[in-house]
Amino acid sequence: MDQIAFSAPLSSQDERPLTARRIKRAHDRYQARCRRSSLVTAEWLKNDLPPVALLAIQAHDHRTGIVSETNLADALKLADAIAIGEITAGRQAMVSALAKPDNGAAMRSALTERPYLPRIILNLSQNHGISLAAMADVCSAAPPQ
């Protein structure tokens, strides 16, 4: 954070530590909102979905601390990981990486910014017998994000 503060064009050296603290607080608030988004979404939908679906929504982000290992929860985690991979690498790169029969090497190469994603995608796809090629087809057919 101090590096960010020192790169900011401020009028005095005294303002830089204050700026670093503000950036840190803003980052902490952002992280708290991210952790809560799954919980808030489940709350919004509580009258429209069955409990298993609400638990899957709450558990799909590991930061909530809620765990669900149902097929629905795994499907949501897998879809989320692929969607984040697509946003990170781009649709064509993600589809291409999923389609290569290289046990995820192309995916690991395309997603170096988020090295945890290939592991999630590979583990869940293997656990449920879903080929990476099938996921590439779904990804390429999905509407743009």
Question: The pTM is what?
Answer: 0.73
Quick one: tokens of 25? Answer: 């607080």
What is the pLDDT averaged over residues 132-143? Answer: 92
* DSSP letter string, 62-96: GGG-----SHHHHHHHHHHHHHHHHHHH-HHHHHH
More confident residue, 122 or 17: 122
Is the pLDDT at 6 greater than 60, yes or no?
A: no
More confident residue, 42 or 90: 90
Q: How confident is the model at residue 34 (pLDDT cuts 50, 70, 90)?
A: low
- The per-residue pLDDT for 2 is 38
Is the pLDDT at 16 greater than 80, yes or no?
A: no
What's the CA gap between 6 and 16, in Å, rounded? 6
pLDDT (tens digit per residue) in 115-129: 999 999 999 999 999
What is the CB neighbour count within 10 angstroms for residue 107?
26
Is the pLDDT at 22 greater than 50, yes or no?
A: yes
Secondary structure of 33-45 as H, E, C letters = HHHHHHHHHHHHC
Contacts with 133 (C-beta within 8 Å, 6 or more apart), sequence order: 98, 99, 101
What is the pLDDT averaged over residues 27-33? Answer: 58
Contact 1, 8 (CB under 8 A): no
Q: How confident is the model at residue 132 (pLDDT cuts 50, 70, 90)?
A: very high
Is the pLDDT at 69 greater than 80, yes or no?
A: yes
